[in-house]
Amino acid sequence: MTAAPVTLTPPQNDPSFESIWDEIVWRGLVHVSTDEDALRALLAGPPITYYCGFDPTAPSLHLGNLVQLLLMRRFQLAGHRPLGLVGGSTGLIGDPKPTAERTLNDAAVVAEWVGYLQEQVKRFLSFDGDNAARLVNNLDWTASMTAIEFLRDIGKHYRVGTMLKKDAVSARLNSDEGISYTEFSYQILQGLDFRRLHLDYGCVLQTGGSDQWGNLTSGVDLVRKAEGATVHAIGTPLVTNADGRKFGKSEGNAIWLDPALTTPYAMYQFWLNTDDADVIDRLKVFTFLGRAEIDRYAELVREEPFRRAAQKRLALEATGIVHGPAAVAAAIAASEALFGQGDLAALDADTLAAAIAELPSAEVGESDTVVHALVATGLCSSASDARRAIAQGGVSLNNATVSSDEATLEGAALAGRAAVLRRGKKTLAGLILR
């Protein structure tokens, strides 16, 4: 299938803002930071080097990481030089979770995941020009460090009382689980990263999620104590769902950037289902649309929310940023075809499978009746309910109305032996035909 092409907004900053600092504040990307006036001046001056770290505690980055990647790209578009750190050493430990000790992954697995994450980071930054991005791995400067060197050169700058006050550490100390010395030491390792990057590249800014603020300031404090230099940190707000829980792997609801873990179709649907109350904030964070255009969508949300114009634009832009225009075009085509506005038969097997994976589904035989399939998928509560729905003209198979309660699934298989059953206008189910 060749889906209709889509046009994405190119990565760009909004020239209507006086500075990149003003723009990221307007986009809601600054939840907490070091000195705001100093940061405004720093980002408005000559190019600086900044970094963000990503730990390979999973084989893919996720939505929370995307906030950082897009913030890094905005700074790079403003002329600054990014360092994308994938933590080959910190990934062997993992930052402390608020509730329980992490399961340590095998070193070979972590090394493999480092490669995966590096390839993902590359997709969002430019590696050309005077401010080309650079990838770094903290295993390069920690692997050869002895325990004595770590304690003498780095540990001496840390005060246990201050370390105990960090939010994640404090939460764990007050839990039944407690905290191991391994995870307690994580903030020192992250501080070591900032110092190393400051010495090697002149790095003066680190970004991260606000839940990492204790780790971010660990590096700021270490550079000040060990090198007598002033560096900065910015903590972005966490991406949360309607009930206030953040999205992420620790919550079990991550939206992954790897299409094998979260398909482009599933990501497109995730954005499309954004609540009206959240969609404008999401447009600010996850797209490169300018202020004037986002304000126009805010007006549409207020005046014509039923059109969901803002959600459609968000789904197009954000999915396209992650997966590219071809993938988002296929996701749009699948979404339209499922609801009778396109040709289901034109969908390729992978796209159709991704769409059906998001629906209730059942495995059935081609000789089975549509009545049986309606009950098997849960679209109808009983055979009599199914027959009544068919008699009322409310059932379709692959977008064709089913007119007889004796109709079977013979010949219904689309690509990948799949089919789509619908009751009413919006209630869908997938069928896998044996």
* Residue 427 CB contacts under 8 Å (≥ 6 apart), including other chains: 379
What 3-state DSSP class applies to 374?
A: helix
* Contact by Cβ (8 Å): 244, 252: no
Buried b (16+ CB within 10 A) or exposed e, 62-101: bbbbbbbbbbbbbbbbbbbbbbbbbbbbbbbbbbbeeeee
pLDDT for res 165: 83
180 torsion bin: left (phi>0), alpha (psi -120 to 50), beta (else): beta
Q: What is the largest CA-CA distance in the chain?
A: 82
* Contact by Cβ (8 Å): 346, 361: no
Domain membership of residue 258 (yes or no) is: no
pLDDT for res 71: 98
Mean pLDDT in residue range 379-407 = 96
What total of structural domains would you count in the chain? 2
Residue 105 has pLDDT above 70, yes or no: yes
Alpha helices in 274-324 (DSSP H): 276-286, 291-303, 309-323
Band of residue 240 on the pLDDT scale cut at 50, 70, 90: confident
203-209 vs 232-236, strand pairing mode: parallel
Band of residue 339 on the pLDDT scale cut at 50, 70, 90: confident
Domain membership of residue 341 (yes or no) is: no
Residue 245 has pLDDT above 80, yes or no: no
Rounded Cα gap, residues 133 and 140, in angstroms = 18
Provide the whole-model pTM. 0.91
CATH code: domain of residue 181: 3.40.50.620
- Boundary-marking domain end, from 181, 212, 239: 239
Same domain (yes/no): 59, 194: yes
More confident residue, 25 or 4: 25
Mean pLDDT in residue range 372-401 = 97
pLDDT for res 110: 96
* Contact by Cβ (8 Å): 348, 396: no
Domain membership of residue 347 (yes or no) is: no
- Domain span at residue 412 reads 359-434
Highest mean pLDDT of the ranges 93-97, 236-240, 427-431: 427-431
Mean pLDDT in residue range 238-252 = 65
Domain membership of residue 287 (yes or no) is: no
* Contact by Cβ (8 Å): 299, 263: no
Residue 169 has pLDDT above 90, yes or no: no
Domain membership of residue 249 (yes or no) is: no
pLDDT for res 129: 95
Domain membership of residue 267 (yes or no) is: no
Same domain (yes/no): 85, 214: yes
Alpha helices in 152-257 (DSSP H): 160-164, 167-173, 181-184, 186-201, 213-227
254 torsion bin: left (phi>0), alpha (psi -120 to 50), beta (else): beta
Of 312, 246, 244, nearest to 274 (Cα)?
A: 312
pLDDT for res 241: 65
SS (H, E, C) 261-273: CCCHHHHHHHHHC
- Boundary-marking domain end, from 218, 239, 260: 239
CATH code: domain of residue 403: 3.10.290.10
- Boundary-marking domain end, from 211, 239, 267: 239
Domain membership of residue 405 (yes or no) is: yes
Domain membership of residue 317 (yes or no) is: no
For the chain, the average pLDDT equals: 93
